[in-house]
């Protein structure tokens, strides 16, 4: 009799706990409803916003890079929760720095990132980011991985090669990896701008341009994002002051709760 009563009480307690947990979950902001964007930045606007963040709002490059990289890692975890083996292709500029930060946070989130970094700038910022990744036991590849290697070893590739300041032609150090990323069957996630795209007009050549499955726009989507036909489009970089947002009429969507990324499509 006591055993039966105890069982009933235990069942009731579990029901109450589950009901309470459900109510908490129900109150959380929904990530299923996508936000819409009505404002896309041209290259001049994108450059000017960065300059104002640095000069008028006194942000440091390191601050914005850390926030941007974290938001990229968070978006990737949401979009690809089971794609743990990640190749991160890193370029020589700020886009590459975002990729290095993203790699470090993905490692903290339980992923197994590896980095291909063919041209490393001789600057303290990038040297520090590289050393941080090494201390997190993130491997750096010594040579460009082939199409076959990427397809067999990785479940996701992060394109952090070139950003909105890119001007063709592609430097010789990056020609092979760019060619390979176009040919692989593994999903590609591009940070801010699909590498090789024009920041405003999008893909340069329809057949040979990169076609990422995921795009993570930073600060605000650039005009080329209107040509994105992939599966996931996120916005990251939750650091824009309201006054700057109003000045450029950014109309940034509301981020859910404390999230540092928001899905657009």
pLDDT digits 0-9 by tens, 124-147: 999 999 999 999 999 999 999 999
Q: Is the pLDDT of residue 76 over 50?
A: yes
For residue 232, the domain's CATH number is 3.40.50.10260
Q: Quote the domain boundaries for residue 214.
A: 38-263
Say if residue 54 carries a ligand binding annotation.
Answer: no
Higher pLDDT, 167 or 71: 71
Say if residue 246 carries a ligand binding annotation.
Answer: no
- pLDDT (0 to 100) of residue 32: 39
Q: How many CB atoms lie within 10 A of CB 30?
A: 7
Say if residue 94 carries a ligand binding annotation.
Answer: yes
The answer to whether position 12 is within a domain reads no
Q: Is the pLDDT of residue 18 over 80?
A: no
Lowest mean pLDDT among 13-17, 168-172, 183-187, 229-233: 13-17
What are the b/e assignments for 87-114, b being 16+ CB within 10 Å?
A: bbbbbbbbbbbbbbbbbbbbbeeebebb
pTM here?
Answer: 0.86
Q: Specify the number of domains making up the chain.
A: 1
Q: Is the pLDDT of residue 11 over 90?
A: no
pLDDT tens by residue, 49-69: 999 999 999 999 999 999 999
Q: Is the pLDDT of residue 218 over 60?
A: yes
Say if residue 195 carries a ligand binding annotation.
Answer: yes
Mean pLDDT of 248-262: 94
What are the b/e assignments for 50-83, b being 16+ CB within 10 Å?
A: bebbeeeeebeeeebbbbbbbbbbbbbbebbeeb
**On the CB side of 249, how many CA atoms lie within 13 Å of its CA?**
5
Say if residue 48 carries a ligand binding annotation.
Answer: no
Say if residue 165 carries a ligand binding annotation.
Answer: yes
The answer to whether position 8 is within a domain reads no
Q: List the structure tokens of 171.
A: 């430097």
Dihedral over Cα of 26, 29, 32, 33: its sign? positive
Return the C-alpha torsion angle 68, 74, 79, 84, nearest 10: 110
Report the percent of the chain where pLDDT is more than 70.
86
Say if residue 151 carries a ligand binding annotation.
Answer: no
Say if residue 209 carries a ligand binding annotation.
Answer: no
Say if residue 256 carries a ligand binding annotation.
Answer: no
Higher pLDDT, 94 or 16: 94
Say if residue 149 carries a ligand binding annotation.
Answer: no
pLDDT tens by residue, 107-126: 999 999 999 999 999 999 99
**65 neighbors 92 (Cβ within 8 angstroms):** no
Say if residue 142 carries a ligand binding annotation.
Answer: no
The answer to whether position 1 is within a domain reads no
The answer to whether position 33 is within a domain reads no
CA end-to-end distance (rounded Å), the chain: 57
The answer to whether position 7 is within a domain reads no
Residue position matching structure tokens 């490692």: 107
- pLDDT (0 to 100) of residue 38: 67
Say if residue 6 carries a ligand binding annotation.
Answer: no
């Amino acid at each position: 009799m006591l055993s039966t009563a105890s069982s009933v009480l235990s069942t009731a307690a579990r029901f109450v706990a589950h009901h309470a947990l459900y109510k908490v979950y129900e109150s959380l902001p929904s990530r299923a409803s996508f936000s819409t964007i009505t404002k896309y930045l041209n290259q001049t606007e994108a450059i000017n916003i960065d300059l104002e963040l640095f000069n008028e709002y006194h942000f440091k490059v390191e601050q914005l890079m850390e926030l941007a990289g974290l938001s990229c890692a968070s978006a990737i975890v949401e979009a690809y929760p089971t794609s743990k083996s990640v190749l991160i292709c890193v370029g020589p500029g700020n886009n590459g720095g975002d990729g290095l930060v993203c790699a470090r946070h993905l490692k903290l989130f339980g992923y197994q990132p590896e980095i291909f970094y063919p041209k490393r700038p001789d600057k303290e910022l990038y040297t520090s980011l590289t050393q941080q990744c090494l201390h997190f036991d993130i491997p750096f590849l010594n040579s460009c991985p082939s199409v076959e290697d990427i397809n067999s070893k990785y479940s996701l590739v992060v394109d952090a090669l070139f950003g909105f300041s890119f001007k063709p032609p592609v430097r010789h150090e990056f020609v092979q990896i760019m060619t390979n990323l176009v040919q692989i069957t593994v999903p590609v996630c591009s940070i801010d701008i699909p590498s090789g795209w024009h920041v405003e007009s999008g893909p340069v050549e329809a057949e040979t341009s990169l076609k990422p499955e995921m795009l993570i726009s930073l600060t605000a989507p650039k005009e080329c994002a209107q040509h994105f036909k992939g599966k996931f489009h996120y916005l990251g970089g939750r650091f824009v002051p309201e006054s700057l947002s109003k000045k450029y009429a950014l109309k940034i969507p509301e981020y859910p709760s404390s999230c540092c990324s928001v899905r657009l499509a």
